[in-house]
Amino acid sequence: MSDPTEADGTAGSAEAAGPAESGGGTGRHVRVVLVDDHRMFRTGVQAEIGQTEQTGVEVVGEAADVDQAVTVITATRPEVVLLDVHLPGGGGVEVLRRCAPLMGDTEQPVRFLALSVSDAAEDVIGVIRGGARGYVTKTITGTDLVNSVFRVQEGDAVFSPRLAGFVLDAFASTDAPPVDEDLDRLTQREREVLRLIARGYAYKEIAKQLYISVKTVESHVSAVLRKLQLSNRHELTRWATARRLV
């Protein structure tokens, strides 16, 4: 399969503990599309879970942004889509919105499993409200990811530890979440950087965590400080802590 995209060269490979070996031996089979804006990460996931004879997972397409994702998903009609939350063109939520008819197909539904570096409550809740069947972080092992894909194929809901609580809390409440106009000024990527800065991460650590360059991290921090009218990372940390973002 040819790669229709060219992502930046700062991406890393999937974090996993060796080749996944569940699925294929039991005769199970699932067709999967990978949606992530980092080509090297997609390559890592493909190498980790896409050994169809061993895992039962067949990767039938890849995409790096919203438009590509909708095109590939519509053309291939996979059973499961591994979907990053933050994508050029509107993010994972936009992919879900545009693929709603495919999710609603009673005969051949396309199901979505979010696979993201972010463990932010708003990201988890956003894609679940959009129709995703689960949410796992990129620290997941290859074996666990294969098992999660098959569970989603079967209609189960799958979450990384601690993330399920976000969903339970959100859907247990009938009240709409309060609007934070300051936070709404930030892009999804700026929110990720904000959260990691507030947790005490150094720029190099953030760059590695988000698969971006240190220079890009610095640009995001500058934008966050400007938009929130803050002077330094210490004020930023207090701001984020007051809003329980860390």
Angle at 244 between CA 224 and CA 119, to 5 degrees: 80
- Tens digit of each residue's pLDDT (9 = 90 or more) over 84-118: 998 888 889 999 999 999 998 888 999 999 999 88
222 vs 125, which has greater pLDDT?
Answer: 222
> Pairing state of beta strands 111-116 and 134-137?
parallel
Average pLDDT for residues 12-40, to the nearest whole number? 68
172 vs 134, which has greater pLDDT?
Answer: 134
DSSP 74: H
pTM recorded for the entire structure: 0.63
Q: How confident is the model at residue 14 (pLDDT cuts 50, 70, 90)?
A: very low
pLDDT > 70 fraction of the chain, expressed in percent and rounded: 82
Q: Supply the mean pLDDT for the chain.
A: 83
Q: In what order do the strands lie in the sheet with 134-137?
A: 57-63, 30-35, 80-83, 111-116, 134-137, 158-159
DSSP 60: E
From residue 76, give the alpha-carbon distance in Å to each of 18, 86, 89, 153, 232.
28, 22, 21, 15, 48
| Segment among 48-52, 181-185, 207-211 with least mean pLDDT | 181-185
DSSP 170-215: HHH--SPPPP-HHHHTS-HHHHHHHHHHHTT--HHHHHHHHT--HH
- How far apart CA 191 and CA 167 sit, in angstroms, is 19
Average pLDDT for residues 148-159, to the nearest whole number? 93
